[in-house]
Homo-oligomer: A and B are copies of this chain.
């Protein structure tokens, strides 16, 4: 159960933009240095973010990226969707009608995995970019003591 670096980077870079791009556009070289992410990789990510209209761009000197909405209107789930970071725990294909593991019917655990996806999705949908820039604290949620 992991997140891809792309997903982590996308959220981190959006927080960076939200934080440093309030008055002036942020160019990716700066984001790259501040957050320690490869510039070329950032370019790919911002390509997706722009297509999803989460950011807008300005070419040329002094240009860069800015948020396209208030950070209080951008949900983390929006960022995940933009870069196609799917929340996918079931074994079946994208078609919701398709069966699990090619057996022609739902596997014994299908509903459970769907619920897990729901739990994760609900959470990502409930957190806004503005929550992160405000210094989201660990005490905001109970943590599980695993093991």
Contacts and interface: CB of A to CB of B under 8 A. Distances in A.
Contact of A132 (B1, B3, B112): B112
A108 to B, nearest CB: 5
Contacts of A22: none
B122 A142 contact: yes
Contacts of A15: 108-109
A36 interface: yes
A21 to B, nearest CB: 14
Interface of A: 1-5, 7-8, 11-12, 15-16, 19, 35-37, 76-77, 80-81, 85-91, 101-103, 107-109, 111-116, 118-125, 127, 131-133, 135-138, 140-144, 146-147
13 contacts: A1-B87, A1-B88, A1-B120, A2-B86, A8-B91, A11-B112, A12-B107, A12-B108, A36-B103, A76-B112, A108-B133, A121-B146, A122-B143
